[in-house]
């Protein structure tokens, strides 16, 4: 019986891995802070934001949380700094700054 992704660690024997290393469940990156890879950081200007939420579906890493219908601060633990959200925002409410 294949282990769940959350049960796999450095001690796991290859015989216990899924056949062909197929992945049967999502979300392993939730616990891995991929935001460490970032070389630029998006900055959100709340004054300029019109809450159109257009930036949300454009983020390839789902790093723009929406709570009660409003966008909130970036999830910088997972944001890779690609800058797509800057291009997506029609109100110039997002800019990039160098570094983390």
Say whether residue 32 binds ligand SF4 (CB under 6 A): no
Say whether residue 84 binds ligand SF4 (CB under 6 A): yes
Type and span of the H or E element at 44: strand 40-44
Say whether residue 54 binds ligand SF4 (CB under 6 A): yes
Longest Cα–Cα distance of the chain, Å, equals 55
Say whether residue 53 binds ligand SF4 (CB under 6 A): yes
Say whether residue 51 binds ligand SF4 (CB under 6 A): yes
Copy the structure tokens of residue 56: 């949300």
Say whether residue 91 binds ligand SF4 (CB under 6 A): yes
- Count of residues of this chain found to bind ligand SF4 when the rule CB under 6 A is applied: 26
- Listed as own residue / partner, the contacts of 66-69 with beta carbons closer than 8 Å and 24 or more positions apart are none
Cα separations (Å) of 91 from 7, 42, 47, 98?
44, 14, 10, 21
Catalog residues that contact ligand SF4 under the rule CB under 6 A: 42, 49-55, 59, 61, 63-64, 71, 74, 79-85, 88-89, 91, 93-94
């Amino acid at each position: 019986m294949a282990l769940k992704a959350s049960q796999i660690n450095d001690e796991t024997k290859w015989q216990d891995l899924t056949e062909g290393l197929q992945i049967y469940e999502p979300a392993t990156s939730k616990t891995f802070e991929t935001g460490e890879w970032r070389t630029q950081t998006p900055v959100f200007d709340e004054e300029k934001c019109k809450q159109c939420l257009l930036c949300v579906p454009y983020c390839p890493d789902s790093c723009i949380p929406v709570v009660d219908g409003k966008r909130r601060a970036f999830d910088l633990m997972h944001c890779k700094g690609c800058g797509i959200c800057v291009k997506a925002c029609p109100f110039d409410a997002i800019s990039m700054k160098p570094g983390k």
